[in-house]
């Protein structure tokens, strides 16, 4: 049986040395002073008021941390903005200021950091501006809308020496499991399989051009994306399934498990990417696949396979785990915050679990801002995992097998080049 502590893993990976090299905060923080955070993007999905949404959930999480406070909440929908502000005020001593435009947060020199939980198309443009304004950043997954944005995001973090954490919180959940792989628990790790098969999403129907809802700033919601008329099947969640704003299920949820798989295999960028699937369940406006298979083969011969299905819910015949690692001496399966190790005869030989919420990942970010810890999901790692999702989407959209070169780029293919970046609304193009 294997028993590994989180402290042992941190020590074994040299986190203490890495922490010493982290940039200092733009604002000198006293030992007992809270890190002041602005949270951007706190809308709920229309039709589901009981779901606080990702941004509000993270705002609640920051407000509960002993070393931080939410100084601002920001959203382009007034109704959801006021609701989140009231919720956060009940969790901390001071009520946060509520603003529509995140650039007001960047102008406040008493704010230390920006947490970005907007739609995908705003992630990198907002993060690049925040770094330039001297703010540290927590950017939700996927950290970019296209591959070029990922390159720019790393450049911005390095140029301005900012602490930038990616919202792949499983990097804070599965440290013991990954250390078990490092120590040879299943021998030489050759393959990882990832699954997202747990959802039964309804049809988004055929949208109609109508006036935006009262209180929603539709122009500001679009931000860097070229403007389009408002349609009634886009906000506040269905945008995921339009390439103009989203990255499909592969970018939305696949990035979590692909990130863990890449971490466990100890690989960076793939040598070959294939992708297949389609829109099988509904005849509606969705552009991204609802059924998707993507494979990534790496220069050392190891591989990752991801399977996503956004309809039908989990079936009895579906895999029970979200990530499975296959080695020459056994298997390690991860489900939620727990893992199980099996030997070659499929006999369970070890298991473990960790907290599977947001608190530890957010605390790690706050500790990183203080220079007291190495980030679990530092942005360069987040960009690498997000790039795999972009490559999987590009392979599907072009119908081609991709063979990336240095930096993950696929050279000499006009179809791929056209999807490497995007057109921006004038004045919004991210620049470093």
Instruction: Give the tens place of pLDDT for each residue, 226-243.
Output: 999 999 999 999 999 999
Contact (CB, 8 A) for 196 and 253: yes
Among 23-37, 169-183, 314-328, 331-345, name the one with the lowest average pLDDT.
Answer: 23-37
Contact (CB, 8 A) for 257 and 306: yes
Q: What is the pLDDT of residue 17?
A: 34
Using CA atoms, how far apart are residues 286 and 52, in angstroms rounded to an integer? 24
Q: What is the pLDDT of residue 49?
A: 60
Q: Which residues have CB under 8 Å from 345's CB, separation 6+?
A: none
Q: What is the pLDDT of residue 57?
A: 96
Q: What is the pLDDT of residue 48?
A: 62
Question: What is the average pLDDT across 98-126?
Answer: 98
Question: What is the average pLDDT across 1-12?
Answer: 36
Contact (CB, 8 A) for 233 and 204: yes
| Cα three-residue angle 64-67-68, rounded to 5 degrees | 65
Run of H or E including 349 = strand 348-353
Q: What is the pLDDT of residue 26?
A: 61
Going by pLDDT thresholds of 50, 70 and 90, the confidence category of residue 59 is: very high
- Other beta carbons within 10 angstroms of residue 331's beta carbon come to 19
Percent of the chain with pLDDT strictly greater than 90: 88
Q: What ranges in 109-146 are assigned the alpha helix state H?
A: 123-132
Question: What is the average pLDDT across 367-384?
Answer: 98
Angle between helices 255-265 and 175-182 (to 10 degrees): 30
Q: Is 80 exceeded by the pLDDT of residue 10?
A: no
Q: What is the pLDDT of residue 51?
A: 76
Mean pLDDT taken over the chain: 93
Question: What is the average pLDDT across 191-207?
Answer: 96
Q: Which residues have CB under 8 Å from 32's CB, separation 6+?
A: none
Paired with 74 in beta bridges are 40, 99
Q: What is the pLDDT of residue 277?
A: 98
Run of H or E including 426 = none
- pTM, entire model: 0.93
Q: What is the pLDDT of residue 294?
A: 98
pLDDT in tens, 239-271: 999 999 999 999 999 999 999 999 999 999 999
Output the six-digit token pair for 223: 């931000």
Contact (CB, 8 A) for 269 and 403: no
71: Cα separation from own chain's centroid: 23
Run of H or E including 141 = none
- Other beta carbons within 10 angstroms of residue 248's beta carbon come to 28
Q: What are phi and psi of 319, to 5 degrees?
A: -55, 145
Question: What is the average pLDDT across 288-310?
Answer: 98
Going by pLDDT thresholds of 50, 70 and 90, the confidence category of residue 411 is: confident
Question: Which of 5 and 204 is assigned the larger pLDDT?
Answer: 204
Using CA atoms, how far apart are residues 151 and 142, in angstroms rounded to an integer? 13
- Other beta carbons within 10 angstroms of residue 333's beta carbon come to 21
Percent of the chain with pLDDT strictly greater than 70: 92
Q: Is 50 exceeded by the pLDDT of residue 398?
A: yes
Angle between helices 123-132 and 147-159 (to 10 degrees): 10
Question: Which of 99 and 11 is assigned the larger pLDDT?
Answer: 99
Going by pLDDT thresholds of 50, 70 and 90, the confidence category of residue 27 is: low
In order of their start, the domains of the chain are 16-169 (3.40.50.720), 171-203+235-356+376-420 (3.30.360.10)
Q: Is 50 exceeded by the pLDDT of residue 8?
A: no
């Amino acid at each position: 049986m294997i028993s590994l502590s989180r402290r042992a893993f941190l020590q074994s990976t040299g986190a203490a040395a890495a922490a010493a090299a982290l940039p200092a905060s733009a604002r000198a923080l006293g030992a007992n002073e809270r890190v002041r955070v602005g949270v951007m993007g706190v809308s709920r999905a229309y039709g589901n008021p009981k779901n606080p949404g990702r941004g509000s959930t993270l705002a609640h999480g920051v407000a509960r941390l002993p070393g931080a406070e939410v100084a601002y909440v920001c959203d382009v929908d007034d109704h959801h903005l006021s609701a989140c502000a009231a919720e956060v005020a009940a969790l901390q001593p001071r009520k946060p200021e509520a603003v529509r435009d995140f650039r007001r947060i960047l102008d406040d020199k008493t704010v230390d950091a920006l947490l970005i939980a907007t739609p995908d198309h705003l992630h990198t443009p907002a993060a690049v501006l925040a770094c330039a304004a001297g703010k540290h950043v927590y950017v939700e997954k996927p950290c970019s809308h296209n591959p070029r944005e990922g390159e720019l995001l790393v450049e911005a973090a390095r140029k301005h020496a900012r602490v930038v954490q990616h919202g792949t919180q499983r990097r804070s959940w599965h440290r013991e499991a990954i250390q078990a792989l490092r120590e040879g628990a299943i021998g030489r790790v050759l393959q990882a399989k990832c699954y997202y098969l747990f959802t039964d999403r309804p049809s988004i129907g055929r949208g109609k051009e109508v006036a935006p809802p009262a209180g929603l700033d539709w122009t500001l919601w679009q931000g860097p994306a070229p403007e389009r008329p408002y349609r009634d099947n886009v906000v506040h969640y269905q945008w995921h399934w339009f390439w103009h704003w989203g990255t499909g299920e592969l970018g939305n949820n696949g990035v979590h498990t692909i990130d863990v798989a890449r971490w466990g295999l100890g690989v960076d960028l793939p040598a070959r990417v294939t992708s297949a699937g389609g829109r099988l369940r509904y005849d509606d406006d969705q552009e991204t696949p609802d059924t998707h298979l993507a494979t990534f083969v790496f220069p050392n011969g190891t591989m990752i396979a991801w399977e996503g299905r956004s309809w039908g819910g989990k079936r009895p015949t579906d895999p029970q785990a979200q990530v499975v690692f296959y080695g020459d001496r056994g298997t390690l399966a991860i489900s939620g915050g727990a893992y199980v190790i099996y030997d070659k005869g499929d006999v369970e030989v070890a298991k473990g679990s960790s907290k599977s919420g947001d608190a530890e990942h957010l605390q790690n970010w706050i500790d990183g801002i203080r220079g007291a810890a190495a980030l679990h999901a530092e942005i360069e790692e987040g960009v690498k995992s997000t790039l795999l999702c972009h490559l999987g989407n590009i392979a599907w959209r072009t119908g081609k097998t991709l063979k990336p070169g240095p930096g993950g780029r696929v050279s000499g293919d006009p179809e791929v080049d056209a999807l490497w970046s995007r057109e921006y609304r004038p004045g919004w193009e991210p620049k470093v």
